[in-house]
Chains A and B, each alone.
Chain A
């Protein structure tokens, strides 16, 4: 399959993130960070692809990603975010939140700040499961049901919402600068407003029925009240937080048992708008265990979202934006405004099977 590269890294990787490029440049990001999990020694690594900026329309990609630097990490890396160009925040399974500094001159990583037992139980460690930043503020959530607010460069905790949740919180995202959204393992979406004191969410939304754990959440890049969540049973739900507490669209991944991890990549928004005006949504989902990408058949969506959702997959997947763009062009003519499904080609099995997801 052209345009897709696979590299074996001998570790199970839990998150990959592209380094953010400044909004003025049209260049593609060429550095990304990965965090590993479920290994005896975990680490975070920085990789680089290509020496010079490769032009957007290049289909071919030369060379493997090169490891730039690596640093040992205590515990599994459960979430990873770039705070800014040089700093990376990680959430660890020991409950620690760490900020790593990437020194460009020496191409090394070092720990710049550490909050050791940010998430904890009275006697055990509680894994910190999600981190999201809006520089310089960092919000983390953990299995202990706490939400913590930190500020980079400040030692202490800015704010703690204790007992935010009775079960484990799995993911968090910013809705607005002062509002966040969390999902937990009993299938609830909670909206928190930092301007309000107290430990109560301003809104709780859930799919009634089984309490299916929700694993990931993200919001639409343009319309702030639309969010999408992925659940344990393979359902992708789109919610409108302004109205109702039911999702208005449900999509089913091809095979129901997969977990879905997804994320909206804001940086692509511009390209998407340039290339595909008025084009509509596409969802990309991956099975987390060895299976190919599923092809998504959305049920006739009530509302079409504009946006781009790419996968921050388990293991390293050289997920180049241009590859996706290429995919788009191939299938553009298939799509009509009505209900024809937009399809993804399955990734060949051998690509994903390398990685002990």
Chain B
């Protein structure tokens, strides 16, 4: 087993004292059940806490606002899977980039909503919780954006710096706020944050905005106009690589070097000596790292420092060289004594183009699999992940998606999203789905039908059967025989159908009437599912025929029930008793042959009962014998009348 990279965090359980007792635990799909055992740490045993605690790692799926994140990203995920495989990959890149942007916009939307609620809520604990979630989402979006720039978009040298600049600008939005504040004031040039704004703009490479703000200062100091004009000129002439033009990288490089020399000359000439701010700006333009480091608070992060440094010193940096600069920037910027935060090491791993390390670190740092699952899936579609099989799950993408979806399945409502994720895991998805879908709690028939439909769409007949059986058992427990029967017919479960039919017949014997006629009368071909069920249906039909006074049909049916052995032996007595009224009718209903058959059945029945049963009370025996005698008498009389009738010749 691999070693753990970080110390696992400990979570204290209220009411347990881990020094005293051993804890027992069992894993669930998304959480752990923890209980106190009777074993003490040092021998002996004593009574303890009677509670079982459920420890859950992922709180996020229960947050109502984050739910939007899961739903929308599910939709994007499904759309991504449907992108056709046969398109050449260079056509697909813009699609992948736009999908990545979709994901990020969903993250941003959730972040904004969370922020709004965090600000407006009265509850302090809730506000901190939301605030935490916002910062996590911010970090997540930062990482995703960087991955998009470096891996998915895979910008070449030249545009790489531009994209990184966009990345930094997106995540450092306070500059615009400050600028608005400054410009809105009465005398912008004298605002205390004025130079901060100008320098921030320059650090972010936003030369036009910087020039616009500088103009305010220039207006105030007409004497120094020449200096301001010079700086303005320099800022305006700064070459920016334009990937659309025919300008090649080397041409741009040459231009840029010329420009830089010009700036350098201005510095050497002491042109800006009288205004330290302007001199600072000039030094920044030249890429002076010490001056950059002086403005640490304005940069605020080492990756901003990195990008600014690249902009002004190495704008044609190649992707492969990035990690040198990243490492050195981080060291220069951060205090050497402080431990790098998880975010920093993730970003560094990204700059080093070590995708697996990024995913690994993110998995450890975040508490659910949402981010790594979706990101890995997207990267896998871009064919950036080498597939190597892990011990568990077929490859990294599938493993992460399976983990994520399993976590979703525990949610009472989001389980439906998880079904789609399982569908798109080719190797183990179906197995996982089969196991999980049976365990969705089924409170109402509507939910059961929904689950069944999901199974039917995927041809999971076993699961359909098992769910129908669960519903049938539930119905049976509540004495709803009709419902139970219709569920077991749906499940094509012959054994259970037999059981329920038995119950129906027992009820009939006890009460003398059938219940749930609306089902039994309309069984149709489903009657053939089990013998007992067929008998039930046909027996009911017999009653119906009798009720409609179609005696000869009823008689035929009755006989066939016995002779075709559809009726169980135990029921024959009842059937023969039912035949009595038919035998006693004025007109002859049973023909001679039929009467012979009836007698045969009666004999078969009585020959089995020849051994008297000592357990049965005497009255029952008497009733039995009386019944048999009555039957014999009726049969004999009927036979006589039948023979006479059949022998009579109409003259």
Contact = CB atoms under 8 A, between A and B. Distances in A.
Contact of B447 (A11, A38, A165, A355): A38
B18 interface: no
B317 interface: no
Given A168-B445, A232-B453, A353-B78, 16 more contacts: A10-B65, A38-B412, A39-B413, A127-B443, A145-B483, A166-B481, A167-B480, A167-B519, A170-B445, A208-B522, A232-B449, A257-B457, A350-B75, A353-B71, A354-B68, A354-B75
Interface string B468-487: 00000010011111110110
Given A166-B518, A354-B75, A186 B486 contact: yes
28 contacts: A8-B68, A10-B65, A11-B64, A40-B413, A122-B478, A123-B478, A124-B478, A126-B478, A129-B446, A143-B445, A144-B480, A145-B483, A163-B515, A166-B485, A166-B516, A166-B519, A167-B483, A188-B518, A206-B522, A232-B449, A232-B453, A257-B453, A289-B450, A289-B453, A354-B71, A354-B75, A356-B414, A357-B416
B444 interface: yes
Contact of B524 (A76, A208, A232, A355): A208
Nearest to A209: B524
A328 B385 CA distance: 51
| Residue from the set A12, A127, A145, A167 with the largest chain B CB neighbour count within 10 Å | A167
A206 B486 CA distance: 15
A124 B474 contact: yes
A121 interface: yes
Given A10-B68, A257-B457, A166 B444 contact: no
A355 B477 CA distance: 35
B467 to A, nearest CB: 14
Interface in B511-530: 515-519, 522, 524, 526
Contacts of A145: 480, 482-483
B524 A78 contact: no
A143 B444 contact: yes
Contacts of B516: 166
A76 B519 contact: no
B67 interface: yes
Contacts of B78: 353
Interface string B30-74: 000000000000000000000000000000001011011001101
B518 A165 contact: yes
B417 interface: yes
Contact of B522 (A170, A185, A211, A349): A211
Contacts of A8: 68, 71
B444 A10 contact: no
A185 B509 CA distance: 28
Contacts of B522: 186, 188, 206, 208, 211
Contacts of B444: 76, 78, 93, 127, 129, 143
A230 B589 CA distance: 46
B245 to A, nearest CB: 36
Interface string A59-85: 000000000000000001010000000
Interface of B: 62, 64-65, 67-68, 71-72, 74-75, 78, 412-414, 416-417, 443-447, 449-450, 453, 456-457, 474, 477-483, 485-486, 489, 515-519, 522, 524, 526
A167 B486 contact: yes
Contact of A127 (B67, B414, B445): B445
A288 B447 CA distance: 12
B592 to A, nearest CB: 38
Contacts of B474: 124
Contact of B71 (A123, A168, A356): A356
A121 B475 CA distance: 9
Interface of B, secondary structure class, is: helix
Contacts of A232: 449, 453
Contacts of A11: 64, 413
Interface string A17-43: 000000000000000000000111000
A186 B480 CA distance: 14
B519 A124 contact: no
Contacts of A10: 64-65, 67-68
B64, B412, B413, B518 interface centre (most CB from chain A within 10 Å)? B518
A76 B518 contact: no
A213 interface: yes
B408 to A, nearest CB: 11
A114 interface: no
B486 A356 contact: no
Nearest to A92: B444
A259 B457 CA distance: 13
Given A123-B478, A127-B445, A166-B516, A39 B68 contact: no
Contacts of A349: 75
Nearest to B75: A353
Contacts of A38: 412-413, 447
A347 interface: no
Contact of B518 (A126, A168, A186): A186
A204 interface: yes
Contacts of A355: 71
What are the 4 A-B residue pairs with the smallest beta carbon separation, nearest first?
A166-B482, A166-B516, A121-B478, A10-B64
B644 to A, nearest CB: 43
A121 B518 contact: no
Nearest to A125: B443
B480 A166 contact: yes
Name the residue among B72, B479, B480 with the largest chain A CB count within 10 angstroms.
B480
Contacts of A257: 453, 456-457
B529 to A, nearest CB: 13
Contacts of A186: 486, 518-519, 522
A57 to B, nearest CB: 33
Interface in A104-142: 121-124, 126-127, 129
Interface string A341-357: 00000000110011111
